[in-house]
Structure 1
């Protein structure tokens, strides 16, 4: 299945997975950009950076096979195999970034990460509500590509 066919499949977990990749880049860039603020925003920046790496391993399953990670981390990532659990973790990551509004009188760019994390959570939740099973993008290492490597 090509990338265009994946998007035409109308499976919201595919849309969520690609939106998650966008979130990964946003969280990484905005985490670095906001780490230079003074005050408690630094904590949210560090959490945003950590979220980027969690999303990296969550959305690209091939990396769990080729990168040296601990068994504990692998078990943590493998918990999120359904649409609802993925919606939950993205919702939690979004909520944490929304809470950054409470510590700074003026909003920071971490709101962009919060919005896109929320959109990804909604895509996964919509896939779950519609009864669509989780389908990983073949481009990102889904559909048995990770099993072919090892």
Structure 2
């Protein structure tokens, strides 16, 4: 299935997975940009944003779970985030943390908060509509990870 065909399925989990990749890129970029700020109250939010980008990487690209050496505890935690509801909750929590960063000062962390929120909404829509989670083949889902072993 090509990327175009994946988007034509109208499965919100595919949209959410790609929004998750966009969130990962934005979290890394704005987290890195804000961690060098002089505002000591923004630095923890920027660090959490950076950590979120790496967590999202392992959530959305299952191929990395087979390639990268990680601890069994981390693997178990990431595998628990497998259903649409769990992914929506994880993204919702990450979004809430970034929304809380604007209490002190409005920074570019808002961009990460917005994309994380949209990702959580797409996963929620997929769960409410009863759509099964479908991993994108482009990102290492749907049997690609098993081909490596």
Q: One fold, TM greater than 0.5?
A: yes
Partner of 2:30: 30
Partner of 2:109: 110
Unmatched 5+ stretches in structure 2: none
Partner of 1:135: 134
Distance in 1, matches of 2:136 and 2:130, equals 18
Distance in 1, matches of 2:140 and 2:102, equals 36
- Once the two structures are superposed, residues 24-56 of structure 1 have per-residue CA deviations (whole angstroms, 9 ceiling, x without a partner) of 000000000001112210000000000000000
Partner of 1:85: 86
Distance in 1, matches of 2:51 and 2:3, equals 28
CA shift, 1:81, in A, is: 0.7
Partner of 2:76: 75
Partner of 1:18: 18
Residue 146 of structure 1 pairs with residue 139 of structure 2: no
Unmatched 5+ stretches in structure 1: none
CA shift, 1:103, in A, is: 2.3
- Once the two structures are superposed, residues 92-147 of structure 1 have per-residue CA deviations (whole angstroms, 9 ceiling, x without a partner) of 0000000001222xx00000100000000000000001000000000101001101
Partner of 1:123: 122
Runs of 4+ in 1 over 6 A off after TM superposition: none
